[in-house]
Amino acid sequence: MLKGIPKIISPELLKVLCEMGHSDRIVIADGNFPVESIGKNAKIIRCDGQGTYEVLKAILKLFPLDCGIEKPVTLMQVTPGENIRTPIWEDYKNAIYEYYDNAGDLVGEIERFAFYEEAKTAYAIIATSEEALYANIMLQKGVIAEN
């Protein structure tokens, strides 16, 4: 065991987070996301039994966002015409606010199929058991600046 590492972060996930470099992306996928077909070229990490919000909170403790780009956090837009609410998005923003004062400015949305295409280039995809719809979130890694 290590100090300061959230229990939800498995050794495999910790290794992947360490391997990732500046501009690499990671997807935290909900239970409906086609992880295996989209992630053919990515490292797939199973976090069965966990929700996306809990995984996001744990990752943000360790993972610098790429604040050199406009929107280092990407959400999958609700398909036009669907009457689906996404209250989990507010939870995500609140988790990001714990580390970044401008959390609202860091989060963008892209159309569902564009999100899938972007996810195909992700370094890793985390498969969760999240039941909320449109709960997929992609993070782009930044750098740790010297103090």
Please state the domain extents for the chain: 11-140
Instruction: Judge whether 147 and 114 are in contact, CB under 8 Å.
Output: no
Whether 101 is a known active-site residue: answer no
pLDDT exceeds cutoff 90 at 144: no
Whether 116 is a known active-site residue: answer yes
| Per annotation, catalytic residue among 30, 66, 100, 134 | 66
Cα(42)–Cα(101) distance, rounded to whole angstroms? 31
**Predicted local confidence at residue 100, as pLDDT:** 92
In order, the DSSP letters of 31-80 are: TTS-HHHHTTTSEEEEETT--HHHHHHHHHTT--B-TTSS-SEEEEPPPT
**Predicted local confidence at residue 29, as pLDDT:** 98
Whether 22 is a known active-site residue: answer yes
Per residue in 19-44, pLDDT (tens digit) is: 999 999 999 999 999 999 999 999 99
Domain covering 11-140 in this structure, CATH number:
3.40.1650.10
**Predicted local confidence at residue 89, as pLDDT:** 97
> For tokens 């600046």, what's the residue?
145
Average pLDDT over residues 42-49: 97
Per residue in 83-135, pLDDT (tens digit) is: 999 999 999 999 999 999 988 899 999 999 999 999 999 999 999 999 999 99
Instruction: Judge whether 29 and 109 are in contact, CB under 8 Å.
Output: no
For residue 144, which of 25, 29, 1, 22 has the smallest C-alpha distance? 22
Average pLDDT over residues 64-88: 95
Cα(38)–Cα(25) distance, rounded to whole angstroms? 14
**Predicted local confidence at residue 146, as pLDDT:** 62
